[in-house]
């Protein structure tokens, strides 16, 4: 609870109506990744913050959209208590605020067919960060009305997914023993090289940082001036 209160104080130090929070939910260092999961946090009229994000039911290939408080967002057995905060430019933040008030529009960009390593630009699947990015596309372009539109916009804007190694035997093991990992949407060329591409917290940060305003006087951790890393007392630098 203390960490949630401290994060709330940090968010309240700036006037933004909407920010992006990125957490470290699992150790992905073997994949050369740090950040796992991103969500939108929107300021409420009473000064609280609510987090809007896409989550799969634990261990399954089905997902749903959730609205939670900061405490719940931080309480999911995180491997590290560091939280990255991005503050989109005011025009984008205003558009996001409008979108987050519309359940119909948010669901336009959601697929319940959860795949941890969903290919970002096509296919029937989606991971948690894919939903956030597709909503972000709509916030930037009012002509985006579908998942295909959103993914096309991301590709045109130069979004780069994270590319990670996944050899043949590893992919076979994932298919046999992990119900929410599928590779049939991945480009054949990537698979031949023993790789897969996905929306990670790292790729979310890299992309959205270009659309966020610089925030001086905070910990940036070499992520750029538009990314603030909130370090709780127990966080690892």
212 vs 26, higher pLDDT: 212
How confident is the model over 28-86, as pLDDT tens digits? 888 899 999 999 999 999 999 999 999 998 889 999 999 999 999 998 778 888 999 99
Classify residue 200: in a domain, yes or no.
yes
Task: Return mean pLDDT, the chain.
Answer: 92
Classify residue 13: in a domain, yes or no.
yes
Q: Is 211 helix (H, G, I), strand (E, B) or coil?
A: helix
CB count, 10 Å around CB of 100? Answer: 20
Cα–Cα nearest to 217, from 228, 232, 202: 228
> Looking at 50-54, 89-93, 148-152, 168-172, which range is the least confident one?
168-172
Q: Judge whether 129 and 199 are in contact, CB under 8 Å.
A: yes
- Domain of residue 171 covers 2-230
How confident is the model over 135-151, as pLDDT tens digits? 999 999 999 999 999 99
How confident is the model over 48-64, as pLDDT tens digits? 999 999 999 888 999 99
Show the tokens assigned to 16.
Answer: 């933004």
Classify residue 236: in a domain, yes or no.
no
- Does 177 have pLDDT greater than 70? no
Classify residue 199: in a domain, yes or no.
yes
- Does 176 have pLDDT greater than 50? no
What is the average per-residue pLDDT within 172-198? 84
Classify residue 237: in a domain, yes or no.
no
Classify residue 188: in a domain, yes or no.
yes
> Looking at 124-133, 164-173, 207-216, which range is the least confident one?
164-173
Residue written as tokens 């890299």?
Answer: 206
Structurally, the chain folds into a number of domains equal to: 1
How far is residue 82's CA from residue 47's CA, in Å, rounded to a whole number?
22
How far is residue 61's CA from residue 81's CA, in Å, rounded to a whole number?
26
In terms of residues, how long is the chain? 237
The set of residues, in sequence order, having a beta carbon less than 8 Å from that of 217 and lying 6+ positions away, is none
Classify residue 118: in a domain, yes or no.
yes
Classify residue 77: in a domain, yes or no.
yes
């Amino acid at each position: 609870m203390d960490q949630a209160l401290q994060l709330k104080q940090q968010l309240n130090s700036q006037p933004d109506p909407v920010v992006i929070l990125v957490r470290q939910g699992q150790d992905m260092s073997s994949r050369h990744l740090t950040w796992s999961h991103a969500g939108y946090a929107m300021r409420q009229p009473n000064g609280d913050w609510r987090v809007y994000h896409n989550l799969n039911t634990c261990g399954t290939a089905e997902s749903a959209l959730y609205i939670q408080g900061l405490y719940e967002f931080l309480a999911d057995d995180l491997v590290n208590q560091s939280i990255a905060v991005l503050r989109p430019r005011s025009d984008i933040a205003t558009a996001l605020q409008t979108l987050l008030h519309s359940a119909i529009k948010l669901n336009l960009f959601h697929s319940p067919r959860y795949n941890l390593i969903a290919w970002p630009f096509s296919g029937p699947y989606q991971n948690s960060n894919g939903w956030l990015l597709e909503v972000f596309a709509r916030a930037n372009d009012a002509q985006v009305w579908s998942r295909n539109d959103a993914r096309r916009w991301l590709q045109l804007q130069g979004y780069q997914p994270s590319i990670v190694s996944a050899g043949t035997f590893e992919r076979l093991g994932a298919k046999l023993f992990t119900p929410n990992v599928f590779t049939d949407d991945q480009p054949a060329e990537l698979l031949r090289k023993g790789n897969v591409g996905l929306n990670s917290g790292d790729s979310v940060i890299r992309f959205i940082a270009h659309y966020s305003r610089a925030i001086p006087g905070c910990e940036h951790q070499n992520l750029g001036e538009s990314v603030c890393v909130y370090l709780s007392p127990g966080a690892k630098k």
